[in-house]
Amino acid sequence: MKKINVTVTGGLGRMGQLLIKHTQKDKNLKLFSVTEYKELKKGKIKYQKNNDKAFKGTNVIIDFTRPNCTLDVLKLAVKFKKKIIIGTTGFQKKHWDAIKKASKKIAILQSGNMSLGINLMQFVSQILSKGFINDYQMEIHDAHHKKKIDYPSGTALMLGHAVASGKSKLFKKIKGKIFLNKKGKAIPNKLNFYIVRKGKIPGTHSVIFENKQEKLKIEHTAHSRNLFAEGAIGAVKWLANKKPGLYNMHHVLGIK
């Protein structure tokens, strides 16, 4: 089997470092290039800027960076017809529009979370949401390390959209209040978010349905960021032979 050439963007970041390590360990993959905001060499790894040389000979790009950087990477991916895994979060409408437009020309797999457990949780949350009537309070709890900038996280938004879909409603119609590192009075019959940003938490997320009689809570805890790197590596292998389109981890797991 011919090895898949992989480019890791944001190689100096925490996820970037893990993705480099997991790519090098996999016998089916070859680390073709690593990019960063500046050029340097660290150990045996050469870090390049996002340019033609870094992307032209690769097969699949893995991007866990920041929204505007992702747009720059996306332009090069389209230019050279390269497939791309996007794990970046915090996108605004202009970013989503660019991703959707690019997916007509190249294969893109985008997910706010690459773990098996979270994607199954998202799937189940949609099913549960269908069953609970309006007198149940809905909450999503989202805890991450103190250096995570965006909130709610991409994972929390994935879960929120799943709950909205189960209710056959637009997410913006059921979205309630967002509380960051504090408690507060939730809006009834809305989906309220409770956000924690502290310490070194890799990621803990809960979806809660509750009324005066009962409470149902499903929770996922990531013990290590290796979980997300392993999911991304699996996605690389799945995406390598796919036609242009916009995919997510549900496609990879066969639960779409």
- The CATH number for 68's domain is 3.40.50.720
* 144 included as an active-site residue: yes
Residues 210, 174 share a domain: yes
Q: How far apart are CA 156 and CA 186, in angstroms?
A: 17
Spatial neighbors of 134 by CB under 8 A, at least 6 apart, are 189
For 37-76, how does the pLDDT look when each residue is reduced to its tens digit (9 = 90+)?
999 999 899 999 999 999 999 999 999 999 999 999 999 9
pTM for this structure? 0.86
Residues 176, 135 share a domain: yes
Q: Are 85 and 219 in contact (CB under 8 A)?
A: no
For 179-223, how does the pLDDT look when each residue is reduced to its tens digit (9 = 90+)?
999 988 899 889 999 999 999 998 999 999 999 999 999 999 999
Residues 143, 97 share a domain: no
Residues 145, 110 share a domain: no
Tokens of 66: 């920041």
Residues 169, 77 share a domain: no
Residues 155, 28 share a domain: no
For 73-132, how does the pLDDT look when each residue is reduced to its tens digit (9 = 90+)?
999 999 999 999 999 988 999 999 999 999 999 999 999 899 999 999 999 999 999 988
Region of residue 184 (phi > 0: left; psi between -120 and 50: alpha; otherwise: beta): beta
Total domains present in the chain? 2
Residues 204, 139 share a domain: yes
- We report the CATH number of the domain holding residue 213 as 3.30.360.10
Q: Using alpha carbons, select from 236, 229, 234, 256 the residue that is nearest to residue 10.
A: 229
In the chain, where does DSSP find H-type helix? 14-25, 52-56, 67-79, 93-102, 116-131, 154-166, 171-174, 226-239, 249-253
Residues 17, 103 share a domain: yes
- Residue 255 confidence (pLDDT): 84
| Residue entry with tokens 């909130």 | 151
Residues 100, 8 share a domain: yes
- Choose, from 144, 161, 175, 205, the residue flagged as catalytic: 144
Domain of 145, in residue numbers? 116-221
Q: Using alpha carbons, select from 216, 225, 44, 189 the residue that is nearest to residue 124.
A: 216
Tokens of 94: 């202009």
Residues 189, 110 share a domain: no
Q: Are 139 and 208 in contact (CB under 8 A)?
A: yes
Residues 34, 92 share a domain: yes
Q: Are 39 and 15 in contact (CB under 8 A)?
A: no
Provide the β-strand partners of residue 29: 4
Residues 215, 133 share a domain: yes
- Choose, from 56, 148, 169, 242, the residue flagged as catalytic: 148
